[in-house]
């Protein structure tokens, strides 16, 4: 068993940014004498001098096959210069892979590691699986962002229930509204990356490997759970907007009352003088 674990090759997926400049990355690796092939949404990179494949996806994730940890760290440094809106926390998923008679993904019961079995070194098959791995990494980034937004604001409904108001001032409330809106909109704008990639429209024979990865990583159920959390954020956004409107209405009422009082005082003064 120990020998089997040591013989596994590394397959690691990373989510580091909102998006990558694939054209720039393509030129960068070509200058370093790597083989690079760019398509609409993915850049494939390999080094003819050593084994290993890298797939960079335009939604800010990449998957590398057959690299050591030190090489992966260098790749993380390389992508920084071609990244848009780097994430606060890099998401990393580790897998082991090996070669066998048929393609499969399962979990090693003893070593608790997810193992991908390939029947060949075909980069197209690796790409099909990588689409699923990259989507999972992207989803983890979304899940983390939403969880942090909920954690930061979940006490507000309880605060309103106990005290009748939110202790935040108007500026702080607007700031929270902006943060929640950005968190929701970033996911809505990026949700297309969780759909079936166009690559499989042209290569339907490879789609089963992508579907296999999606099912193993439980992506459909995680997307449903994410949508439920987005609904929670929408409710929090509604609460904060209601609080702002209530404070604005209260301010207008106070101004009106003050004007009425001033008018009464002026009338009394005029009556007294008369």
Question: Of how many residues is the chain composed?
Answer: 274
pTM: 0.78
pLDDT band at 241, cuts 50/70/90?
low
| Residue-wise pLDDT tens digits, 129-171 | 999 999 999 999 888 888 887 787 777 777 777 776 667 676 7
Higher pLDDT, 128 or 156: 128
List every span in the chain annotated with CATH 3.30.310.50: 2-138
What is the reported pLDDT for 2? 40
Once rounded to an integer, what is the mean pLDDT over residues 238-248?
61
Highest mean pLDDT among 215-219, 252-256, 266-270: 215-219
As to burial, measured by CB atoms within 10 angstroms (0-12 exposed, 13-18 middle, 19+ buried), residue 128 is buried
Q: Measured between alpha carbons, how far is 274 from 268 in angstroms, rounded to an integer? A: 10
Arch. (CATH architecture) of 2-138: 2-Layer Sandwich (3.30)
Once rounded to an integer, what is the mean pLDDT over residues 62-68?
96
Once rounded to an integer, what is the mean pLDDT over residues 68-90?
94
What is the reported pLDDT for 3? 44
Higher pLDDT, 224 or 62: 62
β pairing state of 83-99 and 35-38: unpaired
- DSSP per position, the chain: -HHHHHTPEEEEEEEEEEEE-HHHHHHHHHHTT-EEEE-SSEEEEE-TTS--EEEEETTTEEEEES--HHHHHHHHHHHHTTEEEEEEEEEEEEEEEEE-SS-EEEEETTTTEEEEEESS--HHHHHHHHHHHHHHHHHHHHHHHHHHHHHHHTHHHHHHHHHSS-SS-HHHHHHHHHHHHHHHHHHHHHGGGGSPPTHHHH-GGGHHHHHHHHHHTTHHHHHHHHHHHHHHHHHHHHHHHHHHHHHHHHHHHHHHHHHHHHHHHHHHHHHHH-
What is the reported pLDDT for 252? 57
């Amino acid at each position: 068993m120990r020998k089997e674990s040591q013989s596994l090759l590394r397959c690691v997926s990373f989510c580091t940014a909102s998006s990558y400049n694939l054209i720039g990355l393509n030129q960068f690796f070509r200058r370093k004498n790597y083989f690079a092939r760019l398509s609409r949404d993915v850049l494939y990179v390999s080094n003819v001098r050593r084994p290993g494949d890298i797939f960079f996806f335009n939604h800010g994730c990449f998957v590398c096959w057959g690299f050591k940890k030190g090489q992966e760290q260098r790749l993380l440094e390389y992508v920084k210069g071609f990244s848009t809106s780097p994430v606060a926390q890099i998401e990393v998923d580790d897998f082991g892979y090996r070669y066998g008679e048929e393609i499969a993904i399962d979990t090693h019961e003893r070593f608790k590691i997810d193992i991908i079995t390939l029947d060949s070194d075909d980069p197209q098959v690796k790409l099909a699986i990588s689409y699923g791995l990259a989507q999972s990494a992207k989803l983890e980034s979304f899940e983390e962002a939403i969880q942090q937004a909920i954690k930061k604001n979940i006490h507000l409904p309880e605060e309103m229930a106990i005290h009748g108001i939110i202790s935040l001032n108007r500026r702080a409330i607007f700031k929270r509204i902006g943060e929640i809106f950005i968190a929701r909109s970033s996911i809505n704008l990026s949700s297309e990356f969780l759909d079936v990639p166009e690559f499989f429209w042209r290569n339907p024979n490879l789609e089963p490997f992508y579907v296999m990865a999606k099912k193993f990583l439980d992506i459909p159920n995680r997307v449903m759970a994410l949508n439920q959390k987005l609904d929670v954020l929408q409710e929090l956004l509604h609460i904060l907007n209601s609080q702002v409107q209530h404070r604005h209405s209260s301010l207008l009422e106070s101004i009106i009352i003050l004007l009425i009082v001033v008018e009464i005082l002026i009338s009394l003064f005029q009556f007294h003088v008369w």
